Amino acid sequence: TSGIWTRMFMNQHTVMFSVSTNPAHPKHIGSFDPNCDVVEVVKDAYESSRMLRDQYYPMSPEVEIEQVNYKNPNEPVNIVYVPSHLYHMFYEFFKNAMRATVETHENSKYLPPIKVRVSLGHEDLTIKMSDRGGGVPLRKIERLFSYMYSTAPSPVIDNARNAPPAGFGLWPSHLTSVRQ
């Protein structure tokens, strides 16, 4: 668990004291984006998850994103954060939500959307994500953030087709989430 943070801080130190900047992200301060647009990162994670899901399922649920900025009501929600951490958390969340929604509604012509609400208060940021995928049984909640744990059945590898996407589970999200 501490390995993620150790590597991040080593990278941060190296980038901070090098003479060059990252041309892809010139405004970043090392790994940190001083003006990280949370909704844009969430949208990017959704699109990446959707492209992956579309390879294995005929359709994917849409996403509805609502943002509320109590500090600056007419402005997007921007925070100082590591965008790649936020992206990876939501990529895993979307993969899980899409799979569960598709499997729960497999006989339906309509998939209910995944809803995300990004709220920036005066002291904290809250991101709420909800889907209609049926939920996680109470007996499995305790293991939900364990390394490599998944509620999905183990994939069967077929030479004619790649196995459906399976990730690291939610444990990296648990490790990298912090309160602002």
Catalytic site residues?
A: 88, 92, 95-96
| Rounded Cα gap, residues 29 and 117, in angstroms | 27
For the chain, count helices (H), then strands (E): 5, 5
Residue 130: strand pairing partners: 115
Tell me how far CA of residue 81 lies from CA of 2, 24, 25, 28, 148, in angstroms.
18, 17, 13, 10, 25
Are the beta carbons of 114 and 133 closer than 8 angstroms?
no
Burial class (CB in 10 A: 0-12, 13-18, 19+), 85: buried
Q: Comparing C-alpha atoms, which of 144, 95, 90 is closest to residue 118?
A: 90
What does DSSP say about strands 114-120 and 125-130: parallel, antiparallel, or unpaired? antiparallel
- In this structure, the number of other CB atoms found within 10 A of the CB of residue 57 comes to 18
